Amino acid sequence: MEQAERKVVEEYPLRLRVNGCDLATLVCSPHQLNFLLAGFFLLQGFINSLDDILSMGVCADFGLAELRIRTELPQQLQPTLTSGCGTGITYNLPQNLLNHSRQRLRNYRSEELFCLMKDLQSLTEQYRSHGGIHSAAIGDVDGLLLFAEDIGRHNTLDRLAGEALFKGIELQDKMLVTSGRVSTEMVAKAARLGVGLIASRTSPTDKAIELCEQAGITLIGYLRGSSMEIYSHPQQLQVSGRH
């Protein structure tokens, strides 16, 4: 028997206190928590801009994030435990996304999509070293714009949203690629950002397909090598025979 050292993924419970009240505990990775928190609150509909965050502080020793935001939280929040790793949580999971995405024809090219997925794969150093981590990226015709990794695949979208908020990057009609399964909360978050195409190396759920149909989002699964499966709005993707 040989002994060897191997890195393991870090699981970090982060308790959220907002305007003096306990809100939830996020199970996440411990890096760049400012992006994660800003994106989480944006995609839950609790803030609209960074100006709505009056203060934000994180105590790493106690796993506690204290925030004060401009608006008061709703009195009766209805949390939904999602299918994300570590059991994700969302408070505003819509059943209909017609109002969250512009209903217009977008135009994407398969060459650009395959390049974006290759860029994502080249950046997933943590996954190659010890596994157990999810990754996601957002890009456009010019290539990759934002990249995020987290133990929870739903957290990667929060991180992307938060970083875009801090850097003033517009995500309307951009492409999202992810290493993880695409489920309803992933589609809901992408639609709120205005993303027009979602692609994964693995599969979507049936409800995710339905929501993408409603929101006008092109949904792609099993994007590997030079192959893919298109589940919704194929008319928005121009597929080339060469990749």
Within 10 angstroms of residue 6's Cβ, the number of other Cβ atoms is 7
The H or E element spanning position 117 is helix 110-123
Q: How far is 150 from 134, CA to CA, in rounded Å?
A: 5
Q: How far, in Å, CA of 231 to CA of 62, rounded? A: 43
47-75 in b/e burial notation, b at 16+ Cβ within 10 A? beeeeebeebebeeeeebbebebeeeeee
What angle is formed at CA 31 by the lines to CA 177 and CA 87, rounded to 5 degrees?
65
Could you tell me the two tokens for 99?
A: 């109002």
Q: Based on the number of CB atoms within 10 Å of its own CB, is 240 exposed (0-12), middle (13-18) or buried (19 or more)?
A: exposed
User: Would you state the structure tokens that stand for residue 213, as one six-digit string?
Assistant: 């149909």
Q: Which amino acid is at 72?
A: E
Tell me if residue 14 falls in helix, strand or coil: strand
Residues with active-site annotation: 85
Which residues, in sequence order, are CB contacts of 34 under 8 Å at separation 6+? 56, 58, 162, 166
